[in-house]
Amino acid sequence: MLEAIQLTKTFKNTQAVKGVNLYLEKGETVGLLGPNGAGKSTTISMLSSLVRPTSGDVLLKGESVKDQPQHLREILGVVPQEIAVFPELTAYENMSFFGKIYKLPKSELKQRIEEVLTLVGLEQRQKEPVKQFSGGMKRRLNIAVALLHRPEILIMDEPTVGIDPQSRNYILETVKKLNEEKGITVLYTSHYMEEVEFLCQRLYIMDRGEVIASGTKDEVKNILSSEHTIEVEVEKVNPAFIEKLEGVPAISSVTSLDKKIILLAPKKINLLEDVFDAAKQTESPLKGIQIKAPTLEDVFLHLTGRKLRD
């Protein structure tokens, strides 16, 4: 339905996006995952025709949107990261303002506003000025604005950052409902692995401007299917201990995070003895050891050497 072909964006000296390919099939919810600065917002701005690519193209139903972004805008709803509503106006007045911009017929406007405000759970609060809303309520209103013109595709840029858990759950449930009941195709940008796990059928992982892994959730986890993760808890990370572990041939990656050292190694190999030996030789007291199946978070760690939320 919507496809990015070798999208690239360079800002002065920064190559924010470096040849990204991705696609959305009708009816899917797709996750775009990556840490801050990975290039997610720039990618979706190009996908939505808000930013012109340095090179590459965006295809809607197989046709380039470069010279005709209007058709894309008609069927696309974009929920930006920043809240883009007027604080002095009520929720209803905000919706009415954007409805007029979208040129919704007057006869339809009132009913449509009520429909979308109900969808995001704000129908009871529609007469209140937005400045009285919590951060989560403002974000829900932001989503309502994007839905006003009945888009077929919804692109959401980290819609749950910095809000209370209740609003977050509400937003996640709303996105699920929009996809499952209304058939809206969703591209959901996030740096929360668990949100993508809950919502999406497929995902793209971006880092430093590039897609570094993609596929269904299982396909991405299978990148590490023959590996297991060993989490070693320590009182203090001792560089000599890390160095010793890095010297163990069977360990494919060693990452230290706070007071945890995360090791990846083939499932067949029992590493416990090597870990205990390394700890003893470097006089590093251990607080605990856990062996786990890899998660999407581990895949990210393995591919980049960093945690998603550094």
Binding residue for ligand ATP, selected from 19, 27, 37, 215, defined by CB under 6 A: 37
38 binds ligand ATP (CB under 6 A): yes
Q: Does 36 bind ligand ATP (CB under 6 A)?
A: yes
- Phi–psi pair at 28, nearest 5 degrees: -90, 160
Among 3, 33, 41, 187, binds ligand ATP (CB under 6 A): 41
Measured from the CB atom, the residue of 54 and 96 that comes closer to ligand ATP is 54
Q: Which of the residues 42 through 61 are near ligand ATP (CB under 6 A)? A: 42
Judged by CB under 6 A, which of 6, 11, 267, 310 binds ligand ATP?
11
Rg of the chain in Å (alpha carbons): 23
- Is residue 39 a contact residue for ligand ATP (CB under 6 A)? yes
Q: Is 137 helix (H, G, I), strand (E, B) or coil?
A: helix
Query: Which part of the chain contacts ligand ATP (CB under 6 A), choosing from 40-48, 132-140, 143-151, 168-176?
Result: 40-48
Q: Which is nearer to ligand ATP, 8 or 282 (CB)?
A: 8
Q: Which position among 29, 30, 31, 40 is part of the footprint of ligand ATP (CB under 6 A)?
A: 40
- Strand, coil or helix: what is 13? coil
Angle at 160 between CA 158 and CA 166, to 5 degrees: 165
Which member of 31, 34, 77, 294 binds ligand ATP (CB under 6 A)? Answer: 34
251: number of Cβ within 10 Å: 19
Q: 154 to 193, contacts with ligand ATP by CB under 6 A?
A: 158
In the bound state with ligand ATP, the residue whose beta carbon lies nearer, of 18 and 260, is 18
With respect to ligand ATP, which residue has the nearer C-beta, 40 or 149?
40
Cβ 241 vs Cβ 282: under 8 Å = yes
- Toward ligand ATP, which CB reaches closer, 16 or 24? 16
Q: What is the DSSP secondary-structure string of 58-112?
A: EEETTEE-SS-HHHHHHHEEEE-SS--S-TTSBHHHHHHHHHHHTT--HHHHHHH
Q: How far is the CB of 6 from ligand ATP (least distance, A)?
A: 17
Q: Which two tokens stand for residue 246?
A: 């890095």
Residue range at the interface with ligand ATP (CB under 6 A); choices 31-39, 70-78, 234-242, 282-290: 31-39
Q: Which of 157, 134, 130, 135 is nearest to 146 (CA)?
A: 157
Beta carbon nearer to ligand ATP, 207 or 298: 207
Size of the site for ligand ATP (CB under 6 A): 12
DSSP letters, 235-292, are SS--HHHHHHHHT-TT--EEEEETTEEEEEEETTS--HHHHHHHHHHTT--EEEEEEE
> Of the listed pieces 10-18, 110-118, 133-141, 248-256, which binds ligand ATP according to CB under 6 A?
10-18
The one-character DSSP state at 129 is B
- Judged by CB under 6 A, the chain residues 75 through 134 that form the site for ligand ATP are none
Q: What CA dihedral angle connects 216, 220, 222 and 223, to 10 degrees?
A: 150
CB of 158 to ligand ATP, least distance (A): 6
- Cβ closer to ligand ATP: 114 or 210? 210
- Residues contacting 75, CB < 8 A, separation 6+: 60, 151, 152, 153
> Binding residues for ligand ATP, per CB under 6 A?
11, 14, 16, 34, 36-42, 158
